[in-house]
Structure 1
Amino acid sequence: MIQGDLNLLAEWSDRWQMKFNVDKRKAMHFGDNYKRYDYKLFGNSLTKVNEERYLISNNLKYTKQCRVESKKGNQMLGFKARNIDYKTSETNLTLYDSLVRPHFEYAVQFWSPNYKRDHEKLEQLQRHATKLISSLRNLA
């Protein structure tokens, strides 16, 4: 069924002269009770992956995503602390909005943390960032 859809996609691509980069296409299988098919697009097998960066793993858990984004957010807070000497509340807020906040918001509708530990990890980073902005310290 999926292979048939891939074949239709390939035909559509040829008809409309819109080529797809097959090297960037991947297949992810969910669950352990299903046969792992070898899907092909334009005669090339799609790469099989267990997780996709920034999105999901085949076990449908987002713990790794939360850990990665929390680490990046902390790195950005450290970068800001080390490299920006003159920090007003407005500067801190602007730096937070541009350096840290995007890590919370990228694809969050998709990988929204379901586990308490994941949610707490992201909240911890949010509280840390809030403490650095004097006008928001009392909210942390």
Structure 2
Amino acid sequence: MILKEQANCKVLHLGPGNPQYQYRLGDGWVERRTWGPPEKDLGILVDEKLDMSRQCVPAAQKANCILGCIKRSMASRLREVILPLYSALVRPHLEYCVQLWSPQHKKDMDLLERVQRRVMKMIRGMEHLC
């Protein structure tokens, strides 16, 4: 009998010297997964090389979509209006688990910073800072 918890669990072995133990959960064995397409765990895409570049693109896309909604729906471009919306709705997507997937490549950092520059352009009086 496979429990719901067992169906949601997979073991991903890292490193060439890994003994690749088999693990149990309850009465059954946890599925061992060979590396293939990236696995999503806690909303973070993980591949066999632990390269987190794949995480930056979806995070920036989602943040840009929300930023577009804010731009279309808000008539005011005052800092007091845009900044709280950015902080509450956009930044969480850019910062979600950033301690784990911290952007390591320049292209990834530039991608995320472009979102922040877009916010600055939206705020009246801060356009020149971009």
Distance in 1, matches of 2:23 and 2:113, equals 40
2:80 is aligned with 1:96: no
Match of 1:83 among 61, 70, 73: 73
Structure 1 residue runs of 5 or longer lacking an equivalent are 1-19
Q: Is residue 22–residue 46 contact of structure 1 (8 Å, CA) maintained in 2?
A: yes
Match of 2:10 among 8, 26, 30: 26
CA deviation after TM superposition for structure 1 residue 85, in Å: 3.0
Give, as a single letter, the amino acid of the residue that structure 1 aligns with 2:7: D
- TM-score of the two chains, using structure 2 as the length reference: 0.76
Flag the structure with higher helix content. 1
Cα 1:125/1:42, change in 2 over 3 Å? same
Larger Rg: 1
Please give the per-residue CA displacement for 1:11-35, whole angstroms capped at 9, x wherever unaligned.
xxxxxxxxx9333333222246757
- TM-score of the two chains, using structure 1 as the length reference: 0.71
2:40 is aligned with 1:52: yes
Distance in 2, matches of 1:107 and 1:25, equals 20
| RMSD over aligned Cα atoms | 2.5
Cα 1:80/1:34, change in 2 over 3 Å? same
Q: What corresponds to 1:109 in structure 2?
A: 99
Q: What corresponds to 2:24 in structure 1?
A: 40
